Amino acid sequence: MADPGVPVGAHVERILGSVTPLAPVTVPLGDAVGLVTAADVTAAVSLPRFDHAAMDGYAVRAADVASARPGAPVALPVAGVVAAGDAVEPVLAPGTAWRIMTGAPVPAGADAVVPFEWTDRGRAQVRIDDAVPVARHIRRAGEDVVEGTVAVAHGTVLAPRHLALLAAVGTAAVSVHPASRVAVVVTGQELAVPDTELAGLPGHIPDSNSVALVAAARAAGAQVTAYGPVPDDTRLLLEQLALAAETADLVVTTGGVSAGDHDVVKAALRDREGFWFGSVAIKPGRPQGAGAVTASDGRTVPVVSLPGTPVAAYSSFRLFAEPALRVLAGQRPDAVVRAILDVPVDVAADRTLVLPATYVAPGRVAQLAGHVGHSQRLLAAADVLLVVPPGDAPLAAGAEVAILPLGLPA
């Protein structure tokens, strides 16, 4: 029996060994969505910054209205009005009230806010129809976030909700790992840009790998440049790789990594120091490669070389290139997601299987019927890819399995 190749995890570790997080940069909050914090971000001010009204009403001393009941109200003179944004520091005298709007600073001496709904909304004098406990309808300074404490932790992928919090605690710019730059170099003289004259010639096929991998890299948060299709010519390939390395943090190639007469990537790079080409114990996608090239500025740029079959290229990108993108972006490489099998799934004794599947219920998946390893139709119909490790017996219904979700990030 032929050697199935190195384990999937070993190949992932080979690639990750050449990748480190990109150096942090400081960007305005408006440019930070989707990026990863490079350090803890502490609050410059407390949230809220000051005690403020949680409702429109009247700021009072709770003791002054403690006897108020429906049918036996308490009347208080109104000292003034304070609204959100007013540059005043009101003071409440005992036995009086301030008319106050939501978000306005609570007058010194007040310890509660009576909602308008409990009053006659008087302006010179207000009738209060019910008592209010101390601290009711007041948001205290720092009750959400205290100045100097961590508002957003190191390693957080910044979503709109994080940016809103950072703005609220006085942050205008944030230190992040920048978006990685990925070059996708597709090889194969049989490939043609879709909807061109060449694509209709005998022996040529439309290039779907460029479309899929550029889209996959963008979905992972990267900035992407595509090169190719590159003919099966080692000189042309090396020229394209050198060009790609100038502006990339990671280069991904497809095709040309097997044992055929025209496997141009393997032929061009296999004798270079640090490159590896061989078999990985996975189906689809057994032939793989990895290494690094040096850019003219001295940077070492990792290269991940994937097979050219479209389904294998896409699933290999998700398994081997995407963890590298996560590390470049300052994230953990393993974005493990798991689901429960709705029906049994066969396993292979010597290799990991990657199988298209769909959700049959939240958190429950089933393999698509009629699976063929090269079927782009089934890949397009799938919600997830099952990642089934080697084993001696099928995975039973109810077993937990690792999955690669195929939808766009939430």
- pLDDT tens across 271-296, in order? 999 999 999 999 999 999 999 999 99
Taking alpha carbons only, the member of 312, 267, 264, 270 closest to residue 287 is 312
The tens digit of pLDDT for each residue in 188-241 reads: 988 888 766 655 567 788 899 999 999 999 999 999 999 989 999 999 999 999
- Quick one: 193 and 154 in the same domain? no
What mean pLDDT comes out for the span 369-376?
82
The pLDDT value recorded for residue 108 is: 97
Return the pLDDT at 60.
Answer: 98
Distances (CA, A) of 192 to 106, 201, 211: 69, 9, 12
pLDDT on residue 409: 67
Place 408 in a pLDDT band, splitting at 50, 70 and 90.
confident
- Work out the percent of the chain whose per-residue pLDDT is above 90: 89
Average pLDDT over residues 138-162: 97
Domain assignment of residue 3, yes or no: no
By DSSP bridging, strand 223-230 and strand 181-187 are parallel
Q: Residue 90's domain is classified under what CATH number?
A: 2.170.190.11
Over 80: is that where the pLDDT of 128 sits?
Answer: yes
Which phi and psi (to 5°) does residue 124 adopt? -85, -40
- pLDDT digit string (tens) for 62-115? 999 999 999 999 999 999 999 999 988 999 999 999 999 999 999 999 999 999
Query: Cα 314 to the chain's mean position, in Å?
Result: 19
Indicate if the pLDDT at residue 169 is higher than 60.
yes
Mean pLDDT of the chain: 94
Same domain, 128 and 109: yes
Q: End of a domain among 139, 157, 188?
A: 139
Q: Are residues 133 and 257 located together in one domain of the fold?
A: no
Tell me, what's the pLDDT at 407? 86
Asked if residue 207 and residue 314 are part of one domain, the reply reads yes
pLDDT, tens digit (0-9, with 9 covering 90-100), for 312-342:
999 999 999 999 999 999 999 987 899 999 9
Whether residues 159 and 42 share a domain: the answer is yes
Asked whether residue 195 falls in the same domain as residue 322, the answer is yes
In this structure, is residue 2 part of a structural domain? no
Q: Which residue has the tokens 């409440």?
A: 92
* Full domain range(s) for residue 164: 25-46+146-177
- CA angle 182–183–188, rounded 5-degree value: 145
Judge whether 202 lies within some domain: yes
User: What integer pLDDT is reported at residue 194 of this predicted model?
Assistant: 76
| pLDDT at 222 (0 to 100) | 97
d(CA 389, CA 398): 16
194/272 same-domain check: yes
Nearest of 43, 126, 124, 3 to residue 115 by alpha carbon: 126
